[in-house]
Chains A and B, each alone.
Chain A
Amino acid sequence: MTMRVSTQQMYGTGVGGIQRLQSSLYTLQNQVNTGRKIVSPKDDPVGSAQALLVSQSKSVNTLFVTNQKAATTKLSTLDSTLAGVSSELQNIYEKAIAAGNGSYSDGDRAAVAKELAERLGSLIGLANTQDGTGRYVFAGVQSTTRPFSLSGNSPSATNPTHYSLDPPNAYVDYNGDDGLQKLQVGADDFVETNIPGSDIFMRVKDSSGTPTFRSVFDAVQNMVDFLNTNGASASDPAYTNALGDISAAMDNVTNARATVGARLSSLESMMNTAADRTLQYDEQLSNLQDLDYASALTAVSQQKLQLEAAQATFAATAKLSLFNYI
């Protein structure tokens, strides 16, 4: 049975169909314009939520990369400062060895002592290194406190090693702390961007890990004091002790450099992993959000065809009327 169709309905249906097609063409146009298949969350609620989570992961990853770079910069600076400390100590050690030569006169030794005293001064200067913004790098977290200062103690008369931490009679005091500056460089990874001065300069351990209880400065000052002693002999335990202490100090600084190097290399591999992750996140985001232009444009031409057909049909049927014939 045929259904009666009212004239109003014929117009209404025709216009309604055209509007529907125009609306979906508009949606497609919006997608093509923005290059996104999700223009607003309703287009893909699950995808939108996932995209948010992935882009947070990506941002957090970027944040870690930023921190990794910052940590690398700090540690590289630290390493070059320590290299300076190392070479200074190396120099001191060589001069001290030479001064042990039996042919040196008191005057020769006093000259060496003078040079060593100056080098000690620059060593203390290095230990009080400040970064570009004036923060002391070897003060633990007390970066505005000058970490190393002369104690003003006199060399101990009873103690053969003159200056030492135990019994306490230090040449140079440490005013910083053991505080560590940490940066988050991974979900559960933190990297320490400093080594407290106490570990590098004060708590010196020799190559076998035995503590000397003499700071780097105590060791050098003891050597200076020894060389300034008239008639000093290389066989004096004061000389061998001081020399051993300086050697231990060198080992200690070398250890610190090794620690810094290890941190730098683990940061490097983290940065590589992070770069891979960034690519993965980008790809995930692209899959979730980006428009597939090929299929979008195909859809556009299909809908265009449909719209044209609907318009043509409407125009044709609207013209038909029995009144034209009577």
Chain B
Amino acid sequence: MIRIQVDMQRCQHYGQCVLEAPDVFELDADNLLEWRAEAADDQRTNVEAAMDVCPMQAIRLVD
């Protein structure tokens, strides 16, 4: 299990993470970010890719 944090003070809802890890991140009907705080280990690579593409560098993996 991996744990994911998003700093919502920083997040600007650009949605770049959604393309990299669609099972973890999505934009809701108002185009605001929703995400799972926990995901299976096999999502680690996708979440790391999402961290990389986040323009605000707002995503963290908590080990």
| A and B interact physically | no
Name B's A-contacting residues (CB within 8 A). Answer: none
Name A's B-contacting residues (CB within 8 A). Answer: none
